[in-house]
Amino acid sequence: MKRKTALITGINGQDGSYLAKFLLNKKFHVYGLSRRTSNYKFQRLKYLKIFDKISIIYGDITEYENITKIIKKIKPNFIFNFAAQSFVDYSFDNKFTTYEINTKAVYNILETIKNFSKKTKFYQASTSEMYGNSNRKFQNENTEFNPVSPYAISKVSAHDLVRIYRKSFGIFASSGILFNHESPLRGPEFVTKKIISNLVKIKLKNGKPVHLGNLYSFRDWGYVEDYMDAIFKIVNHKKADDFVVGTGSSTSIIDFFKIACAEIGFNPIFKNNGPNKFCYDKQTEKKLMIINRNLFREQELHYLKADISKIKRVLKWKPKTNLKNLIKKMVSYEIEKIKNPQDEYFY
Ligand code: NAP
């Protein structure tokens, strides 16, 4: 039987790497789109030991002609659009780049599918950031969007495009509204990775205290491999649709920090309030965390919690990994990384 084919944009990213691993296990032929940089490291793919199993195609998602050429040539069964300027803070100073990559490029792909590859099923990586401050106890497929960052605005527009192409042109185009999902291979600027990698360095070497912004934002954090399973179910559902993917439980940054401390063996003591708050370890008196005013967002997003009843009911999906186990995985990875400094594939 002919192998199914998938094109993953953003193959170098956290989700692209894990989805590639997931699809290779299902015997897919995986094509990965990667933009040119001065240094092709593909560390995540190499760490997962899948780099040589993927057909890498070089290209920038914002180049309409090139994207069209690629899709026309391989006519994949599935396109997973993960490529994005995905860091919210960066989007405030780089609004136009964020829009080009996160919105305009989605037009490029959908237009190409419509004109040249109508059987290709499309998946868009939508995000819980689209909800902004919704003032709801939880968010689901019917919750209104109220974006509070250029990143979120770009993703709302892309989300709307997917819906329009699905309804107006009959394209199989689905979106997963994914709440935060983490892994050992999360980008270094994201708060979960920052907390864990700094704390492990303090424990095992002479690391510096982690700088944090608003400790009282709540997020619904899940584990990436569970979410790749959800995405696979979404694109294999009989009809294209939108689904919220999350855990259904929400934790503040300060509580995430405390759980990570406990896992690593610290006993955190907090001093002061507001911007002068800091934290040290009771036994060693090492400073673990300080507040950095520059890390507060222009508009904070206070509270996210997924209502996953639709995906549970329709696709029979639910997450398998709880927050404690997710943190355990991230901590073991950082410990291994420090113990094996010669291993170039650690991210
Ligand atoms: P990520 O690690 O930042 O990966 C994004 C990827 O997009 C990177 O590999 C990047 O390439 C690539 N990219 C950026 N601009 C590009 C361009 N112009 N042309 C081609 N490739 C480009 O993000 P992630 O965490 O894997 O997230 C995957 C997707 O899910 C993103 O769309 C994100 O917005 C969305 N999402 C993520 C979460 C989450 O919690 N992780 C939650 C909801 C939605 P380089 O490697 O060259 O930089």
Q: Concatenated DSSP letters for 171-227?
A: --EEEEEEPPEE-TTS-TTSHHHHHHHHHHHHHHS-PPPEEES-TT-EE--EEHHHH
**Separation between Cα atoms, residue 11 and residue 30, nearest integer Å:** 10
The answer to whether 266 and 257 are in contact (CB under 8 A) is no
CB 305 within 8 A of CB 246: yes
**Other Cβ atoms within 10 Å of 330 Cβ, number:** 24
Q: What is the pTM of this model?
A: 0.96
Buried b (16+ CB within 10 A) or exposed e, 189-206: eebbbbbbbbbbbbbeee
* Cα–ligand 1 centroid distance for 102 (angstroms): 9
CA of 292 to the centre of ligand 1 (A): 26
pLDDT, residue 38, reads: 81
**Which protein residue has the closest C-alpha to ligand 1 atom 47?**
35
247 lines ligand 1 (CB under 6 A): no
98 catalytic per annotation: no
pLDDT, position 296: 83
Length of the chain as a residue count: 347
pLDDT on residue 28: 98
Give me the pLDDT at residue 347, please.
Answer: 74
CATH superfamily of 5-183+221-248+304-321: NAD(P)-binding Rossmann-like Domain (3.40.50.720)
Q: How far is the CA of 85 from the centre of ligand 1 (A)?
A: 6
Binding site membership of 37 for ligand 1 (Cβ less than 6 Å): yes
**How many alpha carbons lie under 13 Å from residue 63 in its C-beta half-sphere?**
14
Output the pLDDT for position 328.
98
Q: Tens digit of pLDDT for each residue in 236-250?
A: 999 999 999 999 999
Active site annotation includes 129:
yes
N-term to C-term CA, the chain: 36
| 127 noted as active-site residue | yes
Q: What is the pLDDT of residue 64?
A: 94
Q: Identify the active-site residue in 9, 31, 99, 129.
A: 129
Radius of gyration, alpha carbons of the chain:
20
Look up the CATH architecture of domain 191-217+252-303+325-339: Alpha-Beta Complex (3.90)
Ligand 1 pocket, residue 145 CB under 6 Å = no
Handedness of CA 344, 196, 83, 117 (dihedral sign): positive
Q: How far apart are CA 22 and CA 27, in angstroms?
A: 9
Burial class of 228 by CB neighbour count within 10 A (0 to 12, 13 to 18, 19+): buried
- Residue 112: predicted pLDDT: 96
Does the beta carbon of 200 sit less than 6 angstroms from any atom of ligand 1? no
Enumerate the domain spans of the chain.
5-183+221-248+304-321, 191-217+252-303+325-339
Counting as low any pLDDT under 50, the low residues of the chain are none
Same fold across 5-183+221-248+304-321 and 191-217+252-303+325-339: no
